[in-house]
Structure 1
Amino acid sequence: MNALRPLVLILSVIVIVLALICAGCARRTDGASSYRPVPNPAHGPRYERTERAQEPTLTILGQLHTTTEVPAQPRAGEQLTKILTGSDIEGVTATEKQSALPQSIIEERKKDVEPANPLLARDLGDGAGGEKLGDPRRRPDDDRPLPDDLPALRENPFVRANAPGGDASTFAADVDSASYNVVRSCLLEQRRAPQAAEVRIEELINRFAYSYPVPTAADPHPFRINAEVVACPWRRDHQIVRIGIAGETLARRQRPPTSLVFLIDVSGSMSPDNRLPLLKRSLGFLVDQLNEEDQVAIVTYAGQAGIALDPTAGDQHRTIKRAIAALGSGGSTHGSAGIREAYRLARQMQRRGGETRVILATDGDFNVGTTNRDDLVRLVRHEAEANVYLTALGFGMGGAGDARLQQLADQGNGFHAFIDRADEAKRLFVERLPSSLVTIAQDVKIQVFFNPAEVAAWRLIGYENRQLRREDFNDDRVDAGEIGAGHTMTALYEIVPVAARREANDPNPFIAQDDAPRAVPTPLPGDTLLRVRLRYQPPGGGTSQLMEQDVRGRDWRRSPSADTSFAMGVAAFGMLLRNPRESGNCTWDLASDLVRAGGEDETRQEVQELIQAARGLDR
């Protein structure tokens, strides 16, 4: 009998296994499980399983006889669903499954969905806070190598508003102004026409200040959006939408402590008067504005890096100026070594609540030595994520050098300026010091949604290098532009109204034709042309904030304001410089008239001198 006991135990185990299998099969066929909805305000309806009472099953273990209820076993499909979604869901629709997903997964999936036009339906990411998932993402062009030659620039084309994806325009904010000074140097000093790629129209426009309404203490955001709609001066029946953004102003006494590391190129190419000598004078203007709460250090590079001035209090003007005056040029350029040393010092000088910047001053020549440009870009990007920003100042250069500095400044969350004369340095470091040193918002993005019922087609004038994908607007990981205190930014759209006269068989259906019949517009309620959306993060990063403003037909003005006239005149000037034969009915006289209508301000009227110089070269 004892010899049979092991066999009995084995048979008992087999019986138990068979009983469990049979119970599972019966449960599959008799609908033992069902699901009922359970309210869940946060994520929509959830579903929980309810079990029917199970029949008792006889279980034999050796000589022990007992009755027990077999626990409900999840089906294979349920197990897989739980692994994938974290929810016990089976037998419900795909929509119901997704509604029960954790919020983090829902947010992760949002970025793969193209946002709808909010003029027709609300967009994803509405309200404060876009998506902020994982590591920072870069703009599509962020992995470009530093150029050896001036990169080509392709003008933005007209886009049909009712085409797939054609109802939205998305770009990064840009307040750089280097292109204006490059153009001025070409026309007035070098007596040559600038190359088309040297003419960045948005930088020509944004070089000047505009009298847009600024935020007050009661405003919830550090910006105000201002818009104006006027007739297009160079194409009949087209319109210009001028979008202006004004940042909050900052009194000098409100400027936070600033830690600056001057990274100065003292290579042999810097010896001409419009390079190192002008650089020294320019930095002198900046030093005069610093106080005891600021810090300054100087690093030089030419062949090898060296520290010309250890961190020094900003009110020690004589000490700092002596160190600047002692700089001399000579040797070849090895910029990466100097930048690494400058960032090392900047990290040491960084203070909570203060601004930390490396100010690179060079002619843009990084061609000599063993500089690894990809590593250089990665370093600048990495330091910007640690809130050490890069300002790139160009002296006596243009072309590829200008493009290289622009890209470095973009990666460094700073700005890029070209200094071609002493009064430009004074404007930058005295008149506009807060906007040059104090960031009020970072990763600023603009998105414009067009109403296809009112707008047949549109094009953005300039900003070719600042384009973003539609979905990037709501993704806080995507890098964009920075705006300083008191900065204004202007963007011009040329739009073709639905009612414009266009020939259906014309090679360019977006250009209005004088002899074509007018279409009958079907406006939406409120006559909304477009919606301007602005998303930004506070300095140092954090949850993004969203601003929105509609532009309606009532924003149309019969006569443009002085600011809008001037901006259109500068845009016309830029289009003629790029390609005078592809600028519609735009002429030098028209550009001059528009600039003149912009007011008698001395700085604005300098554009007239540039127009006349360019007109002479065009003949």
Structure 2
Amino acid sequence: MMKKRILVLGAFLALLATLLSSCGAYAPKGEIAGPDGAEDQMNFAPDAPAEEVEAKPEASEAAGDDEGPRKILENSFVDAAVHPVSTFSTDVDTASYSLFRRLVQKGYTLEELKATAGGCLRTEEMVNYFSYTCPEPTEGIFGIKATVAPSPYNDTTLLMLTLATQKTESSKKNNLVFLIDVSGSMMSEDKLPLLKKAFSYLVGRLDGDDTVSIVTYSGKEEVVLDGCSGSKSERILQAVNGLSAGGSTNGEAGLKMAYRLVEAHYIPDGNNRIFLASDGDLNVGASSVEEVRELVSEKKKSGVYLSVLGFGEGNYRDDMMESIADNGNGVYHYVDSDAEAEKIFGEDLFANLYPVADDVKLQLTFRPEVVAQYRLVGYENRILSEEDFKDDQKDAGELGAGHCVTVFYELKLRERTEESAELPFAELAIRWKEPGETKSKEKSFTLEQELYTENPDEDFLFATAVVECSALLRDSAYKGNASFENIRARLAKLNLEKDFYKEQFAQLLDTLIKNSSPNEKFAAI
């Protein structure tokens, strides 16, 4: 049980399903010089352009192999008359934005970002890092907000959907296992030392009803703490702060031991969760993404959640970290700073700890009389088939207490007629399970044409600035007239001072422009 405190809604955010991520290790071929002149190991190819229109949306395939960078093909436009149904899983990961922030602050230029990390900067994770206003749920667990307005950077229309769960404080007891990578690759200051600070924020919020265990792994796994009361914060912190790095990385053995411990102290109707903290560089045991995915997928059936905290760079395995969290019914964060660690286990704590909805799926059925073509922006590795929506065996994303999830669709509308004017843009269905349940619930909403506006609110203007930025970072085939000049002009009209994170985003764009050479052209890149 957590010590009582007011939950501050921190936008947190990005939505999940079964496929792998958009990029691989920071290592391989064709390394480029980083901003300090040294060779930087990140080398992620930008996303490949997709076809202009496809008849039916399919789950995107991750390109590349285990030795090279991975990328995800962008979702293309779909003919609504041929295939009106779009289905995908929610995702509240935020790792991409934290990674983007770290690289910009280190001095990366736009071209370096596109060449090395473009496929790693997933649009949905960029957008969902931030909070947006959303009405409280009137019934059920979801509040819904929808806006339809002209795209600021394309000759299309954008549909923005925001879902929010109730910001309630949970009284559930916690059974937590900290699974900590102490291999040699974790030595640097931005890895194990920062990891220790991150866990200190969580430990300070536990009490006697909570149970904490610690497993470390390098060449071998070791149980450092077994079922310690959460009230013994000094003992827990002493165990964490006494860790040191060295050796190889047998993540498979560590994961198996962590699951044994969490099952040994399992709390019925409690919060049973593993926090894996690592750079994802597994080199002993199950080291391929697929092997780890299978291991975690099998274990999640026991009702245990597995969330992931990523640290560091150089040999960082984003694909591994995202896949572990996705298949472990957890959330993936990248910790780039002490401030981010405090955010994760401070204002976003309840959303990160307490699930309120499992296997959350969204399905939109567009009216072809109104919408000629549609394109889901981001969520490329969360795409589901139409049949998956009703399949309660099909895994999807978890949402915690106070989570906020935002989705964009790019639309090409038909000319309005007297008949079509009375029809909605689409029908939205949400399907989810309550934690511990096996049967899903479902709720539907109608997205009427009255949602359209030429004067969208600040949430829409800010979120589209993030989408536009992501299009430039990924060198999107659908970036249209996107430019940093447009983004900065739009942000300048908003009152960002009331939101530290949104104000920081505007500052990061200024930093990115300064990082880039005077000859680097930002407009219509």
Shared fold, TM over 0.5: yes
Correspondence 1:536 to 2:432: yes
2:162 to 234, 238, 244: 244
Q: 1:284 to 1:400 in 2, by over 3 A?
A: closer
The answer for unaligned runs of 5 or more in structure 2 is: 1-57
Correspondence 1:182 to 2:99: yes
CA distance in 1, matches of 2:450, 2:423: 8
Contact 1:209/1:487, CA 8 A, preserved across alignment: no
Contact 1:530/1:552, CA 8 A, preserved across alignment: yes
Partner of 2:87: 170
Partner of 1:295: 211
Give the residue type in structure 2 aligned to 1:243. L
Give the residue type in structure 1 aligned to 2:119. A
2:475 to 566, 579, 596: 579
1:410-421 alignment runs, 5 A limit: 410-421=326-337
Correspondence 1:265 to 2:142: no
Correspondence 1:609 to 2:525: no
Partner of 1:441: 357
Contact 1:172/1:480, CA 8 A, preserved across alignment: yes
Equivalent pairs counted in the alignment come to: 453
1:291 Cα shift? 1.4
2:129 to 207, 222, 229: 207
1:350 to 235, 254, 266: 266
Contact 1:222/1:248, CA 8 A, preserved across alignment: yes
CA distance in 2, matches of 1:152, 1:143: 6
Contact 2:94/2:129, CA 8 A, preserved across alignment: yes
Q: 1:149 to 1:417 in 2, by over 3 A?
A: farther
Contact 2:60/2:72, CA 8 A, preserved across alignment: no
Contact 2:279/2:316, CA 8 A, preserved across alignment: no
Contact 2:63/2:71, CA 8 A, preserved across alignment: no
SS in 2 for 1:210: coil
CA distance in 1, matches of 2:120, 2:193: 25
Partner of 2:72: 153
Contact 1:564/1:598, CA 8 A, preserved across alignment: no
Partner of 2:382: 466
Q: Could you list the per-position Cα deviations for residues 213-250 of structure 1 after superposition, in whole angstroms to 9, with x for gaps in the alignment?
A: 1225xx1x1112211111111123x2111111011111
Partner of 1:380: 296
Q: 1:308 to 1:534 in 2, by over 3 A?
A: same
RMSD: 2.2
SS in 2 for 1:528: coil
CA distance in 2, matches of 1:370, 1:159: 38
Give the residue type in structure 1 aligned to 2:162. G
1:561-600 alignment runs, 5 A limit: 561-579=457-475, 583-600=479-496
Give the residue type in structure 2 aligned to 1:548. S
The answer for unaligned runs of 5 or more in structure 1 is: 1-138, 500-519
Q: 1:547 to 1:310 in 2, by over 3 A?
A: same
Correspondence 1:276 to 2:198: no
SS in 1 for 2:159: strand
Give the residue type in structure 2 aligned to 1:155. E
2:449 to 553, 577, 591: 553
Give the residue type in structure 2 aligned to 1:156. N
Contact 1:258/1:354, CA 8 A, preserved across alignment: yes
CA distance in 2, matches of 1:464, 1:310: 39
CA distance in 1, matches of 2:341, 2:273: 17
1:255 Cα shift? 3.3
Correspondence 1:255 to 2:171: yes
Q: Could you list the per-position Cα deviations for residues 340-392 of structure 1 after superposition, in whole angstroms to 9, with x for gaps in the alignment?
A: 11110000111111011111000110124564754432221122111111111
Structure with more relative contact order (C-alpha pairs < 8 Å, separation 6 or more): 2
Partner of 1:126: none
TM (norm. structure 1) is 0.70
Contact 1:160/1:456, CA 8 A, preserved across alignment: yes
Give the residue type in structure 2 aligned to 1:241. L
Contact 1:215/1:224, CA 8 A, preserved across alignment: yes
Q: Could you list the per-position Cα deviations for residues 438-488 of structure 1 after superposition, in whole angstroms to 9, with x for gaps in the alignment?
A: 000010001111111111111111111110111111111111111111000
Higher helix share: 1
After TM superposition, the runs of 4+ consecutive aligned structure 1 residues lying more than 6 A away are 139-146
1:63-142 alignment runs, 5 A limit: none
Q: Could you list the per-position Cα deviations for residues 18-63 of structure 1 after superposition, in whole angstroms to 9, with x for gaps in the alignment?
A: xxxxxxxxxxxxxxxxxxxxxxxxxxxxxxxxxxxxxxxxxxxxxx
Tell me which moved more, 415-424 or 181-190.
Answer: 181-190
Contact 1:146/1:407, CA 8 A, preserved across alignment: no
Give the residue type in structure 1 aligned to 2:265. M
1:415 Cα shift? 0.7
Contact 2:289/2:319, CA 8 A, preserved across alignment: no
Contact 2:253/2:285, CA 8 A, preserved across alignment: no
SS in 1 for 2:198: helix
CA distance in 2, matches of 1:356, 1:140: 31
1:50-65 alignment runs, 5 A limit: none
CA distance in 1, matches of 2:190, 2:513: 26
CA distance in 2, matches of 1:348, 1:462: 39
Q: Could you list the per-position Cα deviations for residues 488-509 of structure 1 after superposition, in whole angstroms to 9, with x for gaps in the alignment?
A: 000011111102xxxxxxxxxx
TM (norm. structure 2) is 0.82
1:566 Cα shift? 1.0
CA distance in 1, matches of 2:285, 2:267: 34
CA distance in 2, matches of 1:142, 1:351: 38
